[in-house]
Amino acid sequence: MASKLLRAVILGPPGSGKGTVCQRIAQSFGLQHLSSGHFLRENIKANTEVGDMAKQYIEKGLLVPDHVITRLMMSELENRRGQHWLLDGFPRTFVQAEALDRICELDLVITLNIPFETLKDRLSRRWIHPPSGRVYNLDFNPPHVHGIDDITGEPLVQQEDDKPEAVAARLRQYKDVAKPVIELYKSRGVLHQFSGTETNKIWPYVYMLFSNKITPIQSKEAY
């Protein structure tokens, strides 16, 4: 097994199960799961300079621009130079991928290809706990009490952009933006695509792929 640090990225549209797959990879292989959404929330909560910049866009319902996300992620990666990591939600665009190139070379990029109808159904059944970012799905991980967060007892909400009419627009937008990023990594031979409608069926293949690069710390039978 290589002793060099593993640098991996997961790509996938909203509702593709990225979060679940990331959690499993992190637990099975001891990788740090670095989520751009999580860092954004943390920085906004802490009123950092980059958090305040991001907040201005989010409050207007706009996407956080490349230069803000890139600055945020570069400083997070700088702090994790000695760790194996898995990036989730970054790079989202070609410009972000170029910025990442300047500081490291990726070993693995996985992309989840999930049918449009499946994504639409999943997202419309997704409810979140806004303060923590915890996500529930009424089909496969419903809250213990309908509409209530398991941990805090606070109410769950359905985000505007998880409502069916908004989902189609989000998926189209993801496809347009992700295409050049996917092509870039494909041309380098580091891209691995996984297709299906169930995370549990995709997982063994993802596990096998990572096992070839890094020694597992937990067997996949844990799932």
- The confidence score (pLDDT) of residue 202 equals 93
Rounded to two decimals, what is the model's pTM? 0.81
- Is residue 94 assigned to a domain? yes
Look at the chain and report how many structural domains it folds into. Answer: 1
Assigned domain for 167 exists: yes
Q: Assess if residue 51 is contained within a domain.
A: no
Residue 179 has pLDDT above 90, yes or no: yes
Examine residue 183 and state whether it is found in any structural domain, yes or no: yes
Q: How confident is the model at residue 222 (pLDDT cuts 50, 70, 90)?
A: very low
pLDDT at 42: 93
pLDDT at 96 exceeding the cut of 50: yes
Q: Which domain holds residue 138?
A: 7-32+80-212
Grade residue 3 by pLDDT with cuts at 50, 70 and 90: low
Q: Which residues are annotated as a binding site?
A: 15-20, 36, 41, 62-64, 89-92, 96, 126, 135-136, 170, 199
Rounded to whole angstroms, the Cα distance separating 16 from 122 reads 8
Predicted confidence (pLDDT) at residue 223 exceeds the cutoff of 90:
no
Query: What distance in Å separates the CA atoms of residue 32 and residue 80, rounded to the nearest whole number?
Result: 9
Task: Flag whether 53 is in a domain.
Answer: no
Determine the Cα–Cα distance for residues 185 and 192; give it in Å rounded to an integer: 9
3-state class (DSSP) for residue 15: coil
Please give the C-alpha separations between residue 202 and each of 5, 26, 135, 196, 208, in angstroms, as whole numbers.
25, 16, 20, 7, 10
First vs last C-alpha separation in the chain: 24
Q: Calculate mean pLDDT across residues 119-129.
A: 85
Mean model confidence pLDDT for the chain = 89
User: What does the pLDDT average to over 195-218?
Assistant: 91
* Residues contributing to the annotated binding site for AMP: 36, 41, 62-64, 89-92, 96, 170
134-137 and 126-129 beta bridge pairing: antiparallel
Instruction: Give the model's confidence band at 117: pLDDT under 50 very low, under 70 low, under 90 confident, else very high.
Output: confident
Packing angle of the helix pair 66-78, 49-59 (nearest 10 deg): 150
Indicate whether 200 belongs to any domain. Answer: yes
For 158-195, the three-class secondary structure string (H helix, E strand, C coil) is CCHHHCHHHHHHHHHHHHHHHHHHHHHHHHCCCEEEEE
Q: Which residues are annotated as a binding site for a ribonucleoside 5'-triphosphate?
A: 15-20, 126, 135-136, 199
How far is the C-alpha of 120 from the C-alpha of 163, rounded, in Å? Answer: 9
Residue 167: CATH number of its domain = 3.40.50.300
Q: Could you give the residue ranges of the DSSP H alpha helices within 46-163?
A: 49-59, 66-78, 94-101, 116-124
Residue 199 lies in a domain: yes
> Is pLDDT larger for residue 159 or for residue 95?
95
* Residue 151 within a domain: yes
